Amino acid sequence: MLHCELQKDGLQHQVVLTDTDFIYRVKPRDDKEIDHGFTNIWNMGSIPLDRMLAVSKRVKQLKENQDSFTIHYVTKTGSCNLSARKVKFKGDEKTCLVIRDKLRSYVNKRHPIRRFLVLINPVSGKRNARTIFRRNVEPILTLCGVLTEVIVTERPKHAEEILKNRDLSDFEGVIAVGGDGFYSECVTGLLVRAQLRARIDPNDPESTITPASLPVGIIPAGSGDFIVQYLHGTRDPTTAAIHVVLGKCQKANVVSVFKGRQLCCYSGLLLGFGLIGDIMNDLEGYRWMGSARFKIIPTRSVMNRRMIDIEMDYLTDTWQTLSRSVYGIDAYVITWRPEESKMAACFGDSALSLYITGKCKLSNHMKQLRKVQLQSKDCWDYDFVDQLRVQGFRVRFPNTPQLQTPEGEALLTDKYYLNCDGEVVTIDRPEFEVRLHRDVVSLFGDSSVRDMNNNVFVWYRSTETTAL
């Protein structure tokens, strides 16, 4: 623990550097003020060392000025939003050198120079992903000394191809600038890559897959950005960038989706078959409307809902089978559980939450869908919705006519659609299958940062304090 005096905003401050915090307060004017304690909290401050982003020196006329330094750190600007702030201190050169080097040593030890592969989807959301990266993300990365290689994707599945095939040995992480579907595309590339290198067949639903080799940071630039909102509590891109540079990660589940015994993709948010799949397919033709399409097109899709005869095998402890007519099957990879007075997102649940919507009146169905949209706790508590906890499931279409291709492959005459994290997968084979894989992706994110307090007003009078 070190103790010294430095100037901030023209006032002399007492500074204490502990193993966890950089603490400062305006120097008391006399002994009376010390005896009565310090009551003005605005003249005190505490910066946790694990919230520091960088410690910089001012350069003047190409010569480093050794009598000052600036601490760049993380602070809250809303209930969940984070931003980078800075505070400057001045003092004698020896004191500044000692404090600055110790702070830098901590920051560099926690975050040595890193290199990230940045993938930007230019057509996500409002088509402003490049601007979001340049304005909100790149300054944070530069401040923290993070090196990047930036690739703007040129076509669907371009990011997947890149992550499958190129050399990633020089990178410590991947940053995906886009929406939920773009994140899933990146995860698909990373996981298929990992399976091929581990000599695991990615097209085998029975395989136990190996985790992705690199963590992923999601920068929200899509239409929904639900994964980021569930992870950070906000879809603010600056907050997401700060979580990346702080470096802490949490594990996340995915599901693999197979069609005709071939892997289609990995999904990290939700799957919606039937009505939700139809809605997403209908929306595809109206992208020119922008976000307005989400307010108009779904109503028409709901009015034209169709029932689908299915046979389903679902895996709990053992495989079980059911047959029925349904309006939809929804599987949640990120599930929800009660936490104090609210519902909290769970990225590493032990099972999928599966909801099967059967025959019901249109009016009741619309009420239920509205509650789903609002994330009401009772949105699935209807007698026409069956709730299951599963490790995987298979869906077949016994009453849908099929045709044979010249190669002898069976195809459905009617097409169905699966919403995979906001992207549409066409189901044109007699069966599709879904399997859960736990903790195979690491996401940059830390709930303790989201819940942090900005300052800890503690003053140390320990005899172990060393004066500089």
| Cα 219 from Cα 235, distance rounded (Å) | 8
Domain boundaries, the chain: 2-106, 115-448
* Strongest mean pLDDT among 289-293, 381-385, 444-448: 381-385
Terminal-residue alpha carbon distance, the chain:
11
> What mean pLDDT do residues 395-406 have?
94
Question: What pTM was estimated for this model as a whole?
Answer: 0.90
The third-level CATH classification (topology) of the domain covering 2-106 is: PH-domain like (2.30.29)
- For the chain, percent of residues with pLDDT exceeding 70: 89
pLDDT at position 455 over 50: no
CB proximity list for 431: less than 8 A, separation 6 or greater: 259, 260, 394, 395, 396, 397
Residue 465 confidence (pLDDT): 59
Q: Which range, of 31-35, 230-234, 398-402, averages the lowest pLDDT?
A: 31-35
Residue 426 has pLDDT above 70, yes or no: yes
Q: Which of 401, 426, 398 is nearest to 413 (CA)?
A: 401
Q: Best-predicted range by mean pLDDT among 53-62, 444-453, 455-464?
A: 444-453
Same fold, 2-106 and 115-448: no
Q: Percentages helix, strand, coil for the chain, rounded to the nearest 5?
A: 30, 40, 35
| Tens of pLDDT, residues 146-180 | 999 999 999 999 999 999 999 999 999 999 999 99
Residues 124-145 have a mean pLDDT of 95
Percent of the chain with pLDDT over 90: 76
The CATH number of domain 115-448, selected from 2.60.200.40, 1.10.3720.10, 3.40.190.10, 1.20.840.10: 2.60.200.40
Q: Report how far residue 312's alpha carbon sits from residue 81's, in angstroms, rounded to the nearest whole number.
A: 43
Scan for tokens 């944070």, then name that residue: 140
Average pLDDT over residues 315-327: 97
pLDDT at residue 452 tops 90: no
pLDDT in tens, 260-297: 889 999 999 999 999 999 999 998 887 777 667 778 88
Tokens of 250: 């949490």
How confident is residue 129, by pLDDT bands cut at 50, 70 and 90?
Answer: very high
* Top mean-pLDDT range of 134-143, 337-346, 442-451: 134-143
The string of DSSP letters for 375-444 reads T-TTTT-STTEEEEEESEEEEE-TTS-EEE-TTS-EEESS-EEEEETTEEEEE-SSEEEEEEEEEEEEEE
- In this prediction, residues 320-336 reach a mean pLDDT of 96
186-213 residue pLDDT tens: 999 999 999 999 999 999 999 999 999 9
